[in-house]
């Protein structure tokens, strides 16, 4: 290992010889050798690179020529997948292309290329998830070139469900037309203009469209009380219990907590709903604070 100030270089030695990529024969010979240097990771403010001798092989059984392949490294790429992911995460977190091109010693174009590839991977990976029951639709600035993007958020799990480029009526409409599972959605939260609202209304006929997050908090409370009535109409009518149930989790005294727990023993399903209500409530508060 060598330390070059802004760069740490690890010299790796490959001990085993690969088998043939075509016939899996272990009788392979080194045909050519060359030194490769791979961007591997960042250690503090130092770039960690791995240097190794790579080889071109020839199979003695079938005559196939092939290059060595390493795990976590694609084809002729000069950076590991972990390194690209690191750049992607930093760029997502707001670090600029020009800053990353300095710290990671790569070009602006490379930052942009990796970012696009990984964004696409993530979105493709999410495509198979069914739509959640509570979603948020938001627009936000994406890149200078591409302009705005519309984000579909899963508000039950606090994560992004999908990202659509563009914020025109046409792009949103085209996207929603193809979106599967729209019937599942019960609540759509959006801060967008009324033109969008009509499009969303058309595509989510069963959902309540909620204009802002405060309404959601009220709606959650209302739905919870309605559900409670179905489980236990007598308990729902009890003023003491109602006041406990409405109180924020953190503001319950130990005595009150015991009382509530005792009540939940009779209605375990209600406790799950109650928990869920608090989680949603906290999430909405958080989102609102972030936005402001």
Q: Under the rule (CB under 5 A), what is the footprint of Zn ion?
A: 20, 22-23, 25, 59, 61-62, 64
Helices (H), 93-168: 97-103, 108-126
Q: How far is CA 31 from CA 19, 20, 57, 63, 82, in A?
A: 14, 13, 5, 12, 30
| Minimum gap (Å) between residue 65 Cβ and Zn ion | 10
Q: Which two tokens stand for residue 57?
A: 């092989």
Q: Which two tokens stand for residue 176?
A: 């929603």
Distance CA 211, CA 201 (A): 12
* Cβ-based nearer residue to Zn ion, 55 or 287: 55
Distance CA 184, CA 130 (A): 9
| Minimum gap (Å) between residue 30 Cβ and Zn ion | 15
* Cβ-based nearer residue to Zn ion, 59 or 100: 59
Q: Which residues pair with 162 in a beta bridge?
A: 152
Q: Which two tokens stand for residue 85?
A: 């992911």
| Minimum gap (Å) between residue 27 Cβ and Zn ion | 8
* Cβ-based nearer residue to Zn ion, 18 or 221: 18
| Minimum gap (Å) between residue 67 Cβ and Zn ion | 14
* Cβ-based nearer residue to Zn ion, 28 or 49: 28
Q: Which two tokens stand for residue 187?
A: 């609540």
| Minimum gap (Å) between residue 31 Cβ and Zn ion | 13
Helix (H) or strand (E) holding 9: strand 7-12
Count CB neighbours of 28 within 10 A. Answer: 19
* Cβ-based nearer residue to Zn ion, 2 or 65: 65
| Minimum gap (Å) between residue 53 Cβ and Zn ion | 22
| Minimum gap (Å) between residue 26 Cβ and Zn ion | 10
* Cβ-based nearer residue to Zn ion, 23 or 85: 23
DSSP state of 182: G
* Cβ-based nearer residue to Zn ion, 60 or 248: 60
Q: Which two tokens stand for residue 184?
A: 């599942």
Helices (H), the chain: 81-92, 97-103, 108-126, 169-178, 194-203, 213-231, 233-236, 239-246, 254-266, 268-291
């Amino acid at each position: 290992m060598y330390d070059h100030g802004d760069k740490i270089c690890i010299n790796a030695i490959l001990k085993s010889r690969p088998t043939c990529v075509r016939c899996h024969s272990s009788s392979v010979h080194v045909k050519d050798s060359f030194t490769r240097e791979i961007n591997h990771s960042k250690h503090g403010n130092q770039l960690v690179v791995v240097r190794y001798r790579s080889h071109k092989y020839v199979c003695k059984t079938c005559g196939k020529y092939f290059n060595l392949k390493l795990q976590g490294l694609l084809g002729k790429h000069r950076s590991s997948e972990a390194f690209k992911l690191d750049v992607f995460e930093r760029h997502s977190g707001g670090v600029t292309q020009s800053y990353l091109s300095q710290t990671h010693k790569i070009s602006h174009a490379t930052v942009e290329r990796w970012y696009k590839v990984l964004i696409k991977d993530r979105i493709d990976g999410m495509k198979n998830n069914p739509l959640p029951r509570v979603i948020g639709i938001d627009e936000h600035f994406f890149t200078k070139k591409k302009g705005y993007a519309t984000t579909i958020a899963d508000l039950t799990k606090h994560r992004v469900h999908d990202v659509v480029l563009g914020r025109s009526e046409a792009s949103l409409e085209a996207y929603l037309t193809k979106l599967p599972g729209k019937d599942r959605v019960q609540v759509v939260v959006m801060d967008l203009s009324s033109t969008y609202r009509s499009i969303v209304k058309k595509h989510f006929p069963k959902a309540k469209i909620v204009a802002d997050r405060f309404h959601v908090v009220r709606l959650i409370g209302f739905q919870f009380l309605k559900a409670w009535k179905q489980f236990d109409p007598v308990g729902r009518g009890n003023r003491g219990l109602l006041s406990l149930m409405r109180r924020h989790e953190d503001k319950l005294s130990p005595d009150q907590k015991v009382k509530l727990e005792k009540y939940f023993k009779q209605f375990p399903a209600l406790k799950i709903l109650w928990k869920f209500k608090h989680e949603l409530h906290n999430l909405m508060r958080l989102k609102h604070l972030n936005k402001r």
